Structure 1
Amino acid sequence: MKKVLFVINTLGGAGAEKALLELLKRFSPQQYEIDLYVLLDQGELISQVPEHVNILNTKYLSESVLSVEGKKKLGKTVWHRLWKHMALGKNLIYLLKNLTDMLKKKQIHTDKLLWRIMSDSGMVLKKHYDMAVAYLEGGATYFVHDHVEADQKFTFLHVDYSYAGYTRALDLDCYPDFDRIFTVSDEVKKSFLQIYPECAGKTVVFHNLLDKEEIKRKAELPGGFSDEYKGKRILTVGRLTAQKAYETAIDAMKLLKDQSEQVRWYVLGEGELRKKLQQKIEELGLTEDFLLLGAVENPYPYYRQCDLYVHETRFEGKSIAVQEAQILGCTILVSDCSGNREQVENGVDGVLCQLDARDISEHIKQLLHDEELCDRYGRNAAKKMDQEDEKGLELFEINEGKSDTDEKAKRSFGHYSCVQ
C-alpha cells in the first residue's frame, strides 16, 4: 500500500481547499494510505475530509480562518509558532533580506514573509512516504521541501506566481528540487515559468476537480435568497480580500443605483476587509443594495437563483467560484485578468470587462436587459464545464496508455492516483 502525504496551509472555505477535498476522494483507501497535515492547525472544512484520510494534526481549531474570532485564534497560533523550534531565530536574516526587498517595491506581503517560519515550526514527521504533495504555495511547499522524507515530492500552484507576491528569494529556490509541479491553469503555468524557466520539463497543468453532480444536487436544496426582493440579483462569491477588488464592485453598484437600475448585489464570503467594505457601503448609501451575507455552508442555491454572477478580481489562478457558476449555467461577467480570461471566453460563454466601476456597471446593465443573451451565455458555460470536467479526469486514467506532449510528466502523478 502506497503511503501518501498531503500538506496544505489551512483548511478554510476557499477554492484550493475545496479542490483538495475533492482530490482526496479520488484516492482508493484499498490502495493508498493517505495522511493530511494542515500547517496552521485551523479551518472549518475539517469535517468534510474523507473518512479514509488520516489527519495528523494533534490540536485543531475548526473556526473559519476569515471570521473575526477565527482570525484572533490564528494570530495566536502564528505568534506561538514564531518561537517554536527556534524558527524565528533561524530565519531572521531571511526575514530582514526579504522585507528590505519588499520595502523597495513598496509592497509588503506579511504572509509571504512568515510562511517559512510557519514551515520550520511545524510538527516533526518521522514517517517516510512514497509521495508527498504540497497542495498550496508558500508554507505547505516549504514544509514538504524541507521537513518531509519521501521518494517523490510534488507541489501545486493555484495563483499567478509573481502577482501574488512570491519570489525566488522567498522560496530559497526550492521548486527545482520537486519531482513534479502542478499548476491549476495555463496562465498560472506561464507566470511560474517566467520565474523558473528551468522547471518547464516538470511543470504540468492539472485542473481543479469538482463534483459537478453534487453541486447541481445541492443547488436544488432549500436555501438561497430570503429577502423577497423583486428586482435583478447579482452574486459574487469570494473572500473579502484585496485580491477580489470589492471596493470597485461597490462603486459600480453606486453607479447602477444612481441610474435607477432595479438590482441588488450580494456577496458570499468572509475576510479581513469586511469592516472596511461595510463602512464604504454605508457611506455610499448602499446598505440595501450591496449586501455582505458572510460565508454560508451551501452557496449553490444562490448561484441557481441569481440573474448574473460577477467576478471582478485583480488576479486569479483558476477560480472555483467561476467554475461553480459555470456548472450551474449562470450568466458570468469577469474582469479581464490572469486566470479569469482563461476561464471565460468573451462573447461566447460570458463577458470580460475592465476592472473599472464604470465599465463593470455598463456591462451589467447590458446583460440584465438582454435575457436572450444571458440564456445563451449560461448554456454555453454549462456545456463548457461538462467538457472540462472530462479533461480533468483523464489525469487519473493515465495507466491506460495515452500519449501527448505532457503524458510522461502526468504519469508520475497518475501512478499514485486512481478513480474507482
Structure 2
Amino acid sequence: MSKILVLGRTMDMGGTEVAMAALLQKLVEKKEDVTLLLVEKRGVLLERIPKEVEVRQMIWNKKPHPALERIVGKRETPAERSFYARGMGVFLMRVVYGKKRYGKLYERILECVEPETKQYDLVFDFFGFGAFTTAFGARKTNARKKAVWFHGENLWWLFRTRDFIPEYDKIYCVSEPVRKQVIARFPELADRTEVLLNFIDIKQVQRRSEEPLSDPQYTGELKFLTVGRASEEKGYDIAVQITAELKKRGLCFKWFIIGDGRDLNKLRTMAKEYQVEQEIIFLGMRENPAPYVKSCDLYLQPSRHEGYPITIVEARSLQKVIIASDIPSMREQIRDGENGYLCPLDVMQFADKIQKVLADQEGRDAVRKKLREEPIDFSAGYAQIEAFAKK
C-alpha cells in the first residue's frame, strides 16, 4: 500500500474534476492510502469521492491579501469575491509580476500556506493548468516521487508554473497531442513525459444515464447537446452562429448546452443578439449530465482545443452519434464516418455536416452499431502508475 497525496483546486463540475474523482476511485480499488488536498473544499463532485479518501483543504498560516487567495482559486468569503480582490489580483498578475516573474508571485503565496508535513510515497498534482497546486506540490510536499498532469493542448498558461514543473519526476499528458506540445516546450524533460489517459468509469456513466430525467427546459423533438464549461476553448460562440445558420435554413431543433463558466452570461447575450435564444439554450450546471446525453439526438462538440475530452468518451459509451471539431485530440477518439463525425470548426461547414448526418439514417445506424461493438477500457493505464511508483 502506497501513501498518495492528490492535489486539486475544487470539486466543481468539470471534465478534469470528473477524471480526478475516477482516479481516486481507482486508487481506492487498488487499496492505496489516499489523501485529497484541495485549495478550497467545495463542489458538487465531492459526493463522488470514495469515503476511504481523506479530503482536506489547504491551510493558510497567515492571512494573505484577498487578492492572493483569489489568485489561487479561493472564493469562500465576500472579501475574496469582491471587485477589489479581482482588480488587485489582475494588477498583481499582469503589472507587478507579469509572465516573466509569475513564479515569484506563486513563491510569495507559498509563504502564506502551511506545508504538508506528512511523508508520502507519491504526490500527484492532478489539476495542472498552471494552477497554484503545481507550485504547492513542488515546494510544500514531501514524497519519494512526484507527478504532474497536463490536460490540454493549449499551454498558454505555462508561464505560471514553468519554474516548478522540472521539480516533478513524471509529467503525465492525457493525450498524444498534449505530449507533443509539452515536449516542444520542455525538450529536456522528454524522458519523463508520457501519455496516461484519464480513468473513466464507463459502467458508472451508464448507470447514471438511467437516472430519471425531469427537466422542463429539456424538451423538443430534435435535441442536440453539448456538455462543458462555458469558456473560449469550447467554441460556444461558434455554436451560437451555427444555430443561427441552421435556423435560417429552416431546421426545427433545440441545442442544449450544459455547464457553468465565466462566459455563460456573455453567451446568453450573444444568443439574444443572434435571435436564437429559443434554439440554443444554456442550461447552466447539471449535477448529472448523463441522462441528458442518453436522450439527445446528436451530441455536438465544437471545441477549439481539448486534451482528451471526457464528454466524448461518455457520449461514445452511450452510443450517441457525435459531430466534433476536427482537432488532434478528437481524432484520437473519432474516426470520421466510422464511429462518429469530424468537421472543421467553420460555421457553414458545421451546419452542412449536421444536416448531412441528419439526412443519413443508414449512416447514423452504422455509427451506433460500431460504438456498441467498440470496447472502451482504461484499466491498463494503472500499470503505468505502478511502474512509476516502483522505479
TM-score normalized by structure 1?
0.80
Q: 1-side partners of 2:239 and 2:139: how far apart?
A: 41
Query: Alignment RMSD, CA only?
Result: 3.1
From the superposition, tell whether residues 117 and 359 of structure 1 become closer, same or farther in structure 2 (CA, over 3 Å): farther
Which of 277, 287, 295 is residue 305 of structure 1 equivalent to? 295
Q: 2-side partners of 1:355 and 1:113: how far apart?
A: 38
Aligned to 1:64: none
AA aligned opposite 1:13: M
Number of aligned pairs? 371
Q: Deviation per CA, 1:333-391, whole angstroms, max 9, x where unpaired?
A: 1112232222212222111112121111111111111122112223323444x2x41xx
AA aligned opposite 1:142: A
Question: Aligned to 1:26, what secondary structure does the other structure show?
Answer: helix
1:134 and 2:134 are equivalent in the alignment: no
Q: 2-side partners of 1:117 and 1:330: how far apart?
A: 48
AA aligned opposite 2:363: L
Q: 1-side partners of 2:250 and 2:308: how far apart?
A: 34
Which of 149, 166, 169 is residue 156 of structure 1 equivalent to? 149
- Kindly state the Cα deviation for residue 122 of structure 1 after the two structures are TM-superposed: 3.7
- Kindly state the Cα deviation for residue 74 of structure 1 after the two structures are TM-superposed: 7.6
Aligned to 1:187: 177
- Name which of structure 1's ranges 20-29 and 199-208 shifts more when overlaid on structure 2: 20-29
- Kindly state the Cα deviation for residue 324 of structure 1 after the two structures are TM-superposed: 0.5
Q: 1-side partners of 2:347 and 2:104: how far apart?
A: 32
TM-score normalized by structure 2?
0.85
Q: Deviation per CA, 1:159-203, whole angstroms, max 9, x where unpaired?
A: 11xx24133x43243323211111111111111111011222111
Q: Where does structure 2 lack aligned partners over 5 or more consecutive residues?
A: 60-72
Question: Aligned to 1:166, what secondary structure does the other structure show?
Answer: helix
Which of 328, 338, 351 is residue 328 of structure 2 equivalent to? 338
AA aligned opposite 2:354: I
- Name which of structure 1's ranges 311-320 and 116-125 shifts more when overlaid on structure 2: 116-125
Q: 2-side partners of 1:225 and 1:335: how far apart?
A: 28
- Kindly state the Cα deviation for residue 142 of structure 1 after the two structures are TM-superposed: 1.6
Q: 2-side partners of 1:128 and 1:158: how far apart?
A: 27
Which of 233, 236, 241 is residue 251 of structure 1 equivalent to? 241
Question: Aligned to 2:300, what secondary structure does the other structure show?
Answer: strand
Aligned to 1:204: 194
Equivalent residues of 1:395, 1:410 under 8 A apart: no
- Kindly state the Cα deviation for residue 206 of structure 1 after the two structures are TM-superposed: 0.9
Aligned to 1:363: 353
Aligned to 2:381: 395
Q: 2-side partners of 1:229 and 1:249: how far apart?
A: 19
- Kindly state the Cα deviation for residue 225 of structure 1 after the two structures are TM-superposed: 5.7
Q: 2-side partners of 1:9 and 1:266: how far apart?
A: 28
Q: Deviation per CA, 1:29-70, whole angstroms, max 9, x where unpaired?
A: 7843211111244322222211111112278xxxxxxxxxx9
Q: Where does structure 1 lack aligned partners over 5 or more consecutive residues?
A: 60-69, 83-87, 102-109, 399-406
From the superposition, tell whether residues 352 and 30 of structure 1 become closer, same or farther in structure 2 (CA, over 3 Å): closer
Question: Aligned to 1:365, what secondary structure does the other structure show?
Answer: helix
Equivalent residues of 1:225, 1:305 under 8 A apart: no
From the superposition, tell whether residues 93 and 41 of structure 1 become closer, same or farther in structure 2 (CA, over 3 Å): same
- Kindly state the Cα deviation for residue 252 of structure 1 after the two structures are TM-superposed: 0.5
Q: 1-side partners of 2:369 and 2:79: how far apart?
A: 47
Which of 212, 216, 232 is residue 242 of structure 1 equivalent to? 232
Aligned to 2:163: 173
1:328 and 2:288 are equivalent in the alignment: no
From the superposition, tell whether residues 156 and 382 of structure 1 become closer, same or farther in structure 2 (CA, over 3 Å): farther
Aligned to 1:26: 26
Equivalent residues of 2:74, 2:80 under 8 A apart: no
Aligned to 2:223: 233
- Name which of structure 1's ranges 34-43 and 275-284 shifts more when overlaid on structure 2: 34-43
Q: 2-side partners of 1:115 and 1:361: how far apart?
A: 44
Q: 1-side partners of 2:380 and 2:184: how far apart?
A: 27
Q: Deviation per CA, 1:377-412, whole angstroms, max 9, x where unpaired?
A: 23323444x2x41xx21133x3xxxxxxxx7x8611
AA aligned opposite 1:159: G
Equivalent residues of 2:134, 2:148 under 8 A apart: yes
- Kindly state the Cα deviation for residue 6 of structure 1 after the two structures are TM-superposed: 0.4
Equivalent residues of 1:307, 1:368 under 8 A apart: no
1:15 and 2:15 are equivalent in the alignment: yes
Equivalent residues of 2:28, 2:34 under 8 A apart: no
Equivalent residues of 1:219, 1:303 under 8 A apart: yes
Aligned to 2:67: none
Q: 2-side partners of 1:347 and 1:29: how far apart?
A: 37
Equivalent residues of 2:334, 2:342 under 8 A apart: yes
Q: 1-side partners of 2:361 and 2:17: how far apart?
A: 35
Equivalent residues of 1:153, 1:180 under 8 A apart: yes
